[in-house]
A and B are shown apart, each in its own frame.
Chain A
Amino acid sequence: MIALVTGANGFLGSSLVAGLLSQTDYQVRCIVRPGSSIEKLKKTATDFPDRCEIKYGALHNYSICLDIVKNVDIVFHLASAKSGAPAEMFHGSSVTTKCLLDAIVNTNKTIRLVHCSSFSVYSVAELKSREMVNEHTPLERHPEKRDLYAFSKWHQEQLIREYYKKYNIPTVILRPGVIYGPGGTPISTRVGLSVFGVFLFIGGRNILPLTYIDNCAEAFLTVAEKAAFEGETYNIVDDDLITAGKFLSLYRAQVLRLRFIRVPYPLMWLLSVLCEKYHVRSKGQLPDVFTRYKSASMWKPQTFTNMKLKQLGWTMKVPTDLGLAKHFEYLT
C-alpha cells in the first residue's frame, strides 16, 4: 500500500510522514516543491530507508502529478501556499489541487483522498458571539473579504468537493484549527499581532481552537483508517482548549516577556471601521489590513467541538499542557 503526502516537508507534513512510517505499514511517497529544504524529512526517512521515498515535484504540472500518483492507494493532500502574491497563492493551492485531482481521476485505480482544509473556510463572521463552530457551520459566502489564505483554502476545498461529486473520488476533508508545536508559528494571530513592533493583544478571553501537531497528525491517521470516505468533514481541535489570554501569559512567563497593548474586541471593531474608511477614501494608499469582516472572522469569540472526530475513534495523545510546554520550550 502506498500513501502519497503532498506538502510533506511542511510543519504538519513532516509530522504526518513520521506518523505514517512509525504507526502504519504504508510505503510513504513524499512530494515536496522544487527548491524546498528536505532536511527534516531526510532525517525521518533515514530510520525507514525502505519505506520512504522523497520526490521533488511541481504539482501544477499535470504530467508530474500523473507520475506521482502512480500505484498510490491514498493521498494526503497537505500542499497549499501560505503566503505570496494573490496569483501565486491560488497557483500554489488551487491550480496544483486541480492538476492532482485530474491525475487521480485519470488513473485506473481508485485512490482515496484525505484533504487538509482549514478552519478559515467557515463563515464565522456571520455567527453569533460564542456560537459553536462545528462541521455544520456554513462555509464562507464572501471568502474574498477574508485574507488571501482563507480565500485560496476555500477555493481549494470547493474544487475537492466538485471533483468528489463529479468523479466520486473517495474523499474526506479535515479542517484543523490552529496547529501548534515545536517549529510552528510562535503566537497565532487569534491571540494578537505585531504592528510596527508593538504587540496588539486582541484575543482576550476567546477560546483558541488549538491542536498540537502530533494530535493533528494522529487525526489524519485515524481518518485514513476509519472514515467512510463519502465526502465527510471533520474538524480538528484538542480537548482542554485555553483562552488567548492564558496562551499569552504562558508565553510571557516561559518564552519572552513580550510588551503588549490590550485591544478589546469593540475597540478592534472601531479600528477596523476607521481602517476601512481610510482605505476607501485614500484609494488604497494603505492596505485594508483590518476590516470589520476580517476582525469578526478572527477575533469574535467562538466555541469549538471535536465530538465528530472523537466518535470516529480519535484520541488526543499529547495533552494541552504538555503540548504547550513543548511549544514554548522550542521557542526558548
Chain B
Amino acid sequence: MDKLRVAIIGCGQIADGHVSEIQKLGNATVVAVCDTEPIIAEQLAIRFGIKTWYHSHKEMLNKEQLDVIHICTPPQSHLALAKDAVDSGCHIYVEKPLALNYLETVELVQYVTNAHRKITIGHNSEFDPPSVEMRNHIKNGTLGDPVHVESWYGYNMGGSFGKAILASPDHWVHKLPGKLFHNNINHMLNKITEYLDDDTPEIHAFAWKRDTTQNFGDLRDDLYDELRTVIRGKTVSAYGTFSSGVRPVGHYVRVYGTRSIIDLDYTSRSVAVDRGALYPSAIGRLLAGYDKAWQYTKSALKNSKRFYQNDFHFFSGMNLLIKNFYDSILHDAPLPVSTRNIVRIAWIMDSIISQIQGEKQS
C-alpha cells in the first residue's frame, strides 16, 4: 500500500482542517467526502479539488476502496458510522468526543480492536508543539516527577461555532449529555491524563451558567458555560478549568514537578521552565525575572524559526497526529493516542457530566 485512500464523513467546520492537513502529507489522498446534506459535501469537494462526494456514507463505503475514514460528524452519530467504516475494512480517525459516554467508547474501541483495525481520536493539541516540547522536558528529567497539573481551556461563545450553538435550540450540542462541555473538555482533560496513572481517579466537578443575561425559554437556557474540576490520582492531582467568560480566550497548562514548574501556552506556543531563583537573596529575585523573560524569548525565537521554515501552521498538531496515525497503519508504528487514554477520558467525562447533572437536579 503506497498511498492511503482516505474519505471524510461530515463536512462541517472541522472537515476543512482535516482535508487541508491530509493533503499536505505525501502518503495519503482524500478521494471522497460525504455529508447527509449534499450541498455541504459538494462545497468542500469543490474547494479542495476532490472529485467525488456523497450524501450516503454506505454508498461511499461500497463504491470507494477506502483505507481510512475520518469521522467529523456530531458525536451522536460516531458509534454507528465508525462501526460501518470498520465493517468495510477501514481504519478510523474519530473527532472528539469519541462517543456519547464511557460504555459507547469501550464498545467502539473493542469493536475496532476485534476487527484488527486502528483507531485514533481528534486530540490535536496533544501534538501541538508545546506538548511535544513538554515530552522532551519530561524525558530529559527537567520536570522531575509530576505532582500537580493545571489545565485551562478557554472558549469563545462569540466565535462562529459558539454563535451557531446559541442561534438555535436544535443545534446538536444542546442534545449532548454534557452539552458544551461534552464537545470541548477533551482538550482540557487530555493534558491532565498524560500525567495521571490512574484509570478511575477521584473527581469533583462544579459547573454553572455565568451569562444569565440571555433567556431564550428553551434548551439554550440550560447551557452551562463555566466548569471547574478537581481530580486526585494516587500521585498526581489536577485542576481543570473550562471558562467562556475570561478574556483573552486562553489555552494553558501548568505542570508542577519535583524539579521545576513548566508553563505551556498553546495560544502563543510558548514553553517556559521555572526552576526558581538560581542565586541567593535579592540577586536571585532580580535574575529570576530575566530568566523568565529569556524563556519566553527562546520560545519566540523558536517560533520565528518555525515560521521561516514554513512549519508554523494553525493545525500543526492535527498534522502530526494524522501523520503518526497513518504511520501506525502503514508501518505498524504505535498508535498516537493509546486506547487506554481514550477510554480513561471517557470515564472521567462521564463522572464530570453525572456530577453536573446531579447538581442541576438538586
Tell which of A10-18, A209-217, A277-285 binds the partner: A277-285
**CB within 8 Å for A284 and B313 given contacts A35-B167, A87-B15:** yes
- The answer to whether A95 has its CB under 8 Å from any CB of chain B is yes
B168 close to A86 (CB less than 8 A) = no
Contacts of B312 in A (CB 8 A): 285
Contacts of A144 in B (CB 8 A): 46-47
A95 to B167, CA, bound (A): 16
Contacts of B16 in A (CB 8 A): 85-87
- The answer to whether A91 has its CB under 8 Å from any CB of chain B is yes
The residue from A86, A88, A281 contacting B164, defined by CB atoms under 8 A apart: A88
- The answer to whether B231 has its CB under 8 Å from any CB of chain A is no
The residue from A85, A94, A284, A285 contacting B307, defined by CB atoms under 8 A apart: A285
A285 close to B40 (CB less than 8 A) = no
**Nearest chain A CB to B88 CB, angstrom units:** 25
Name the interface residues of A10-65: CB closer than 8 Å to any CB of B: 33-35, 58, 61
A155 close to B310 (CB less than 8 A) = no
**CB within 8 Å for A155 and B313 given contacts A86-B44, A283-B24:** no
**CB within 8 Å for A88 and B160 given contacts A34-B168, A95-B39, A151-B43:** yes
User: How many residues of A are counted as interface, with CB atoms below 8 angstroms from the partner's CB atoms?
Assistant: 25
A61 to B312, CA, bound (A): 40
B20 close to A284 (CB less than 8 A) = yes
User: How many residues of B are counted as interface, with CB atoms below 8 angstroms from the partner's CB atoms?
Assistant: 28
Q: B12-55: contact bitstring with A at CB < 8 Å (1 yes, 0 no)?
A: 11011000100010000000000001011001101100000000
Q: In this complex, what residue of B is CB-closest to A91?
A: B40
B40 close to A282 (CB less than 8 A) = no
**Nearest chain A CB to B219 CB, angstrom units:** 12
Contacts of B161 in A (CB 8 A): 85
- The answer to whether A220 has its CB under 8 Å from any CB of chain B is no
Q: In this complex, what residue of B is CB-closest to A93?
A: B39
A84 to B156, CA, bound (A): 14
Contacts of A151 in B (CB 8 A): 43, 47
Contacts of A88 in B (CB 8 A): 13, 160, 164
B313 close to A285 (CB less than 8 A) = yes
The residue from A35, A83, A98, A283 contacting B168, defined by CB atoms under 8 A apart: A35
Q: In this complex, what residue of A is CB-closest to B166?
A: A35
**CB within 8 Å for A33 and B167 given contacts A85-B16, A155-B39, A285-B307:** yes
A90 to B37, CA, bound (A): 10
Name the interface residues of A88-132: CB closer than 8 Å to any CB of B: 88, 90-91, 94-95, 98
A87 to B164, CA, bound (A): 12
Contacts of B216 in A (CB 8 A): 35
Contacts of A284 in B (CB 8 A): 20, 24, 313
Name the interface residues of B159-183: CB closer than 8 Å to any CB of A: 160-161, 163-164, 166-170
- The answer to whether B7 has its CB under 8 Å from any CB of chain A is no
A233 to B216, CA, bound (A): 40
B47 close to A90 (CB less than 8 A) = no
Contacts of A86 in B (CB 8 A): 13, 16, 43-44, 47
**Nearest chain A CB to B350 CB, angstrom units:** 30
**Nearest chain B CB to A199 CB, angstrom units:** 25
Contacts of B160 in A (CB 8 A): 83-85, 88
**CB within 8 Å for A87 and B313 given contacts A34-B168, A95-B37, A155-B39:** no
A87 to B11, CA, bound (A): 7
**Nearest chain A CB to B166 CB, angstrom units:** 6
Q: A57-86: contact bitstring with B at CB < 8 Å (1 yes, 0 no)?
A: 010010000000000000000000001111
Q: In this complex, what residue of A is CB-closest to B315?
A: A284
**Nearest chain A CB to B247 CB, angstrom units:** 20
**Nearest chain A CB to B206 CB, angstrom units:** 28
Q: In this complex, what residue of A is CB-closest to B24?
A: A283
A33 to B20, CA, bound (A): 31
A282 to B16, CA, bound (A): 17
A33 to B168, CA, bound (A): 9
Contacts of B43 in A (CB 8 A): 86-87, 90, 94, 151-152, 155
A283 close to B47 (CB less than 8 A) = no
Q: In this complex, what residue of A is CB-closest to B49?
A: A144
Q: In this complex, what residue of B is CB-closest to A281?
A: B310
Contacts of A281 in B (CB 8 A): 310
**CB within 8 Å for A94 and B39 given contacts A86-B16, A88-B13, A283-B310:** yes
Q: A130-166: contact bitstring with B at CB < 8 Å (1 yes, 0 no)?
A: 0000000000000010000001100100000000000
Q: In this complex, what residue of A is CB-closest to B11?
A: A87
A155 to B160, CA, bound (A): 21
**Nearest chain B CB to A118 CB, angstrom units:** 17
Contacts of B313 in A (CB 8 A): 283-285
Contacts of A152 in B (CB 8 A): 43
**Nearest chain A CB to B216 CB, angstrom units:** 8
A283 to B166, CA, bound (A): 34
**Nearest chain A CB to B83 CB, angstrom units:** 25
5 closest A-B pairs by beta carbon, nearest first, are A282-B310, A35-B167, A85-B13, A87-B12, A84-B160
18 additional contacts, CB 8 Å, given A90-B39, A151-B47, A283-B313? A34-B168, A34-B169, A35-B216, A58-B167, A84-B160, A85-B161, A86-B16, A87-B13, A87-B16, A87-B44, A88-B164, A90-B43, A95-B37, A144-B46, A152-B43, A281-B310, A284-B313, A285-B307
